Amino acid sequence: MSRRAVLPPGSTIGILGGGQLGRMTALAAANLGYRCHIYAPDAHAPAFDVSASHTQAPYEDQAALRDFASQVDVATYEFENVPVACVEFLAPLVPVHPGADLLRTAQHRGREKAFFQRIGVPVAPFALADSEAALTAAAQQVGLPAIVKTTTEGYDGKGQARVNAGTDLAALWAALGRRELIVEAVIDFVAEASVIAVRAADGTVRCFPIGRNVHRNGILHTTTVPGGFDPALLRQAEEIGRRAAEAVDLIGVLCVELFITRDGRVLANEMAPRPHNSGHWTQDGCVTSQFEQLVRAISGLPLGLVDLRVRQVVMTNLIGAEADQWQAIAGEANAKLHLYGKREARPGRKMGHVNRLTL
């Protein structure tokens, strides 16, 4: 691999996407003396508030993208649905990490599963369907109960439905928008976890301690670290993170969501080539946060340590009106409050999170 120069302080990091992940990455970058330039189509992107500069333009605007590229020294993305074409357009103009190939894989649940299978990581039995008839066949092949998801663009449990013997598949095909679907067997998991791997330009890989994730209404509710998992499971999970990061020549952060089965197996669910909600605990519970690791990786700096520095940390998301509790949380002695500066607390919207520490 070619050795890149280290970006000196004062350099500018470009971030595609202006949500909370970009915001927290920009804060970490500022700590290391870097400036951030956010590129997002939104009018009031949370990351704009904490960054040196921003461009508000569609991801398809080539003039704006060219201008952006001329103003940044390296670029990354914080939003998984940035069009691959946008990253491909930028790549000859400025280094973009992680690259377009990983983004393309992570945007499609079928490609993602095929990737895991290729690197020897088990996944739920699945079948793809691009018609109503194919959906019926896929459900038969996978067996019921099953979970049907759109292959692209789902998040926080959106674009998914459970299917059992009584489900009207024709109605479901219409309800999910007559688009390509993936049918997955329902995994009887005893726990959910995620492994967050970081890989530097020199090939060093580190995996953060593995957290236990609890979802509520299809949205991550808490991540607890340590997760209380058996050491053998932790080794499997870490191996999955390392293998995935190495297979894609990652420069940056990659999260793999995992199911822990009753019989002690670790299956991959999906992956995200960016900092992940289940890694927000690292801001206060870890020597180096996932955001700082991303900044270090793409700037050519060595990675920081990933050691836990508290006895336990529990990250709790503040969804919608839950963020109204900000004052009480700010008054808790061992709580670290993080708010994203979003103007409107719509139901289901991630407004912030709190890391509760046991020292």
Ligand X SMILES: Nc1ncnc2c1ncn2[C@@H]1O[C@H](COP(=O)(O)OP(=O)(O)OP(=O)(O)O)[C@@H](O)[C@H]1O
> Count residues contacting Mg ion (CB under 5 A)?
1
Cα–Cα distance for residue pair 114/110, rounded to 1 Å: 6
* 156 contributes a contact to ligand X by CB under 6 A: yes
* 184 contributes a contact to Mg ion by CB under 5 A: no
CB of 139 to ligand X, least distance (A): 13
* 192 contributes a contact to ligand X by CB under 6 A: yes
Select the binding partner of residue 192 from ligand X, Mg ion, none (C-beta < 5 to 8 A, by kind): ligand X
Our CB check for ligand X shows the closer of 51 and 151 to be 151
Cα–Cα distance for residue pair 195/234, rounded to 1 Å: 9
* 257 contributes a contact to ligand X by CB under 6 A: yes
* 215 contributes a contact to ligand X by CB under 6 A: yes
Residue 233 backbone zone (phi > 0: left; psi -120 to 50: alpha; other: beta): alpha
Cα–Cα distance for residue pair 315/223, rounded to 1 Å: 5
CB of 320 to ligand X, least distance (A): 15
CB of 163 to ligand X, least distance (A): 11
The DSSP symbol for 182 reads E
Q: Are 253 and 297 in contact (CB under 8 A)?
A: yes
CB of 194 to Mg ion, least distance (A): 9
Cα–Cα distance for residue pair 234/170, rounded to 1 Å: 41
Q: Are strands 35-40 and 53-56 parallel, antiparallel or unpaired?
A: parallel
* 80 contributes a contact to Mg ion by CB under 5 A: no
Q: Which two tokens stand for residue 145?
A: 């109960």
CB of 188 to ligand X, least distance (A): 8
* 154 contributes a contact to ligand X by CB under 6 A: yes
Which position's Cβ is nearest Mg ion?
257
CB of 290 to ligand X, least distance (A): 15
Q: Are 264 and 63 in contact (CB under 8 A)?
A: no
Binding mask 228-267 for Mg ion (x = CB under 5 A): -----------------------------x----------
Q: Are 145 and 186 in contact (CB under 8 A)?
A: yes
Q: Are 254 and 271 in contact (CB under 8 A)?
A: yes
> Count residues contacting ligand X (CB under 6 A)?
18
